[in-house]
Amino acid sequence: MELNKYIEHTLLKQDATREEITKLLEEACKYNFLGVCVNPCNVKFAKQYLNDTGNIEIKVVTVVGFPLGQSTTESKILETIDAVKNGADEIDMVMNTGRLKDGDYDYIAEEISKIKAACQNHNLKVILETDLLTQEEIKTACKLCINGGADFVKTSTGFVKNGVGAKAEDVKLMYETVKDSGLQVKASGGIRDRETAIKMIEAGAVRLGTSSGVKIVAGN
C-alpha cells in the first residue's frame, strides 16, 4: 500500500516557525506525499516553495475557522477567498459544533454551501470534531455536509483537549453515511503510526491528516 499518496503532511501548531514549515515541505517532496496542510499564513510560502522545486502535484491544504469553528460565516468566507487567492488547493473548514448541537441544521448546511461557493472549483472538507459528537450527531453532520455540497467529511482538528482524534469506528460510520453521495472521508488527529493509518484506510478514509507522515512511511 502506497501510504504516502493518502497523506496530507500536517503542521498546524501555533508556534510553527518558517524553518519548521520548510522542513515539512522538504519532507513532502522527499516522500512524495499527496499534500501538505498548513495554517493560512503559510499558504503562499508553501505554494511558492512547491512551484520553485517543481513539486506542483503536491496539494497545499489550509484550514478555515480553525480550530473552534465558532467564527461567523462571513469571516470563514473571507478566509476561504484569501486562501484560494494565495494558492490553496483545498480548504478544510471547521463546522460550528454548537449550532449542530442546537439543531440549527439550516445554518450548518447554508454555511457549508456558502464556503463551498467561495472555494470555486477547489475541494472543501468539513471538520466535524467527532470527539465532541455522539454517533447520531456524526451521522447528522455528515448528511448536512452532503446537503451543503461539501466534497469531504473530516474527523478532527486534533485540538480538542483530552480528545482521541480519529477513531476507526467513526471513520467507518462517516464512510457508510456519505458513500452513496460521492463525498469522501479524511481521517485526522492521533494518526501516528503505520498500523493506525492502515486501520483508517480500511475503515473508509481516502485521506490522512497527520504530522507523523515520515514515521508512517519510513518507520522513523
Instruction: From 195, 127, 131, select the one nearest 161 (Cα to Cα).
Output: 131
Encode pLDDT of 136-145 as tens digits.
Answer: 999 999 999 9
Cα gap 63→31, rounded to integer Å: 23
Cα gap 79→212, rounded to integer Å: 27
Pairing of strands 35-38, 152-154: unpaired
What CATH superfamily classification does 3-218 receive? Aldolase class I (3.20.20.70)
User: 40 preceded by cis ω (within 30°)?
Assistant: no
Q: Can you tell me the mean pLDDT for 66-80?
A: 98
Encode pLDDT of 88-110 as tens digits.
Answer: 999 999 999 999 999 999 999 99
Cell of 109: 448546511
Segments in 32-96 forming alpha helices (H): 43-52, 73-85
Helix (H) or strand (E) holding 126: strand 123-127
- How confident is the model at residue 220, as a pLDDT? 61
* Amino acid at residue number 180: D
Q: Which residues pair with 186 in a beta bridge?
A: 154, 207
* Amino acid at residue number 217: V
Q: Do 34 and 6 touch, CB atoms closer than 8 A? A: yes
92 counts as catalytic: yes
At residue 13, does pLDDT exceed 70? yes
30 counts as catalytic: no
What Å distances lie between residue 201 and 59, 103, 186, CA to CA? 19, 31, 9
Q: Do 7 and 50 touch, CB atoms closer than 8 A? A: no
At residue 193, does pLDDT exceed 90? yes
Catalytic residue among 154, 167, 170, 199: 154
Cell of 151: 466534497
Q: Which residues pair with 185 in a beta bridge?
A: 153
Cα gap 120→140, rounded to integer Å: 25
3-state SS class at 38: strand
- How confident is the model at residue 1, as a pLDDT? 80
When pLDDT is cut at 50, 70 and 90, the band that residue 219 belongs to is: confident
pLDDT > 90 fraction of the chain, expressed in percent and rounded: 98
Encode pLDDT of 108-129 as tens digits.
Answer: 999 999 999 999 999 999 999 9
pTM above 0.85, yes or no: yes
Phi, psi of 15 (to 5 degrees): -105, 20
At residue 29, does pLDDT exceed 90? yes
The per-residue pLDDT of the chain, averaged, comes to 97
Cell of 145: 455536509
Encode pLDDT of 34-70 as tens digits.
Answer: 999 999 999 999 999 999 999 999 999 999 999 999 9
- How confident is the model at residue 118, as a pLDDT? 98
Cα gap 51→194, rounded to integer Å: 29
Q: Can you tell me the mean pLDDT for 156-174?
A: 96
Catalytic residue among 76, 116, 167, 186: 186
